[in-house]
Chain A
Amino acid sequence: QSVLTQPPSVSGAPGQRVTISCTGSSSNIGAGYDVHWYQQLPGTAPKLLIYGNSNRPSGVPDRFSGSKSGTSASLAITGLQAEDEADYYCQSYDSSLSGGCWVFGGGTKLTVL
């Protein structure tokens, strides 16, 4: 299983708000390492969505926001649109694994109803 824990799936109707959680531990998120989020549309490569817990790269709509607290982080998507249907992954750094490595959550499939 993944070092970071995400719910396998979430869903929401168009226009609604959904959140995706990412739970880590004292060796990764809880140690102060930042959390980053990626969106992977079907059949495509991952795309950076949020970096440094809450920052959006240029071009990412402000409907997407991120936060971090303690050993967890969250991605919120407001005003859901059909094009948001994708897999979402959180990523951080872990200092306990063989001297350190980059870790991902297992991914969350967002379904827009």
Chain B
Amino acid sequence: EVQLVESGGGLVQPGGSLRLSCAASGFTFSSYEMNWVRQAPGKGLEWVSYISSSGSTIYYADSVKGRFTISRDNAKNSLYLQMNSLRAEDTAVYYCARAQPYSSSWYFDYWGQGTLVTVSS
């Protein structure tokens, strides 16, 4: 059974840092592209970042570019999101999601349960 379990969320002050982790199991992690998607309280879904299976290709949403860093450790079946210079508008539940290529795009076939990040003084 595919499982994605996020951790590392919490309360942080504006300008602070936080590192999220996503532990994967039930599939060959090193074969899949992974993403982070977030959802602000009461709002919709927003894609945050993508990393290829090898980690060689990375993309970010403009809203987090230069502040967030995605990475993975295939030996540990883990995905990470280092978040620096956090702002109030980064407050959200952060989901890790497995990407499945399809034709000319990708979809997210498995999601974790999410971890809440609250940026507030």
Contacts and interface: CB of A to CB of B under 8 A. Distances in A.
B105 A34 contact: yes
Interface residues of A, number: 29
A32 to B, nearest CB: 6
Interface of B: 35, 37, 44-47, 50, 59, 61-62, 65, 95, 100, 102-114
Contacts of B59: 99-101
Contact of A51 (B95, B102, B110): B102
B19 to A, nearest CB: 21
Contacts of B62: 97-98
13 contacts: A33-B104, A34-B103, A44-B113, A45-B95, A46-B108, A48-B110, A51-B107, A57-B109, A89-B44, A91-B108, A93-B104, A101-B47, A105-B44
Contacts of A103: 47
A107 B45 contact: yes
Given A32-B104, A48-B109, 11 more contacts: A33-B105, A36-B105, A46-B95, A46-B111, A48-B107, A51-B102, A89-B44, A91-B45, A93-B106, A102-B35, A107-B44
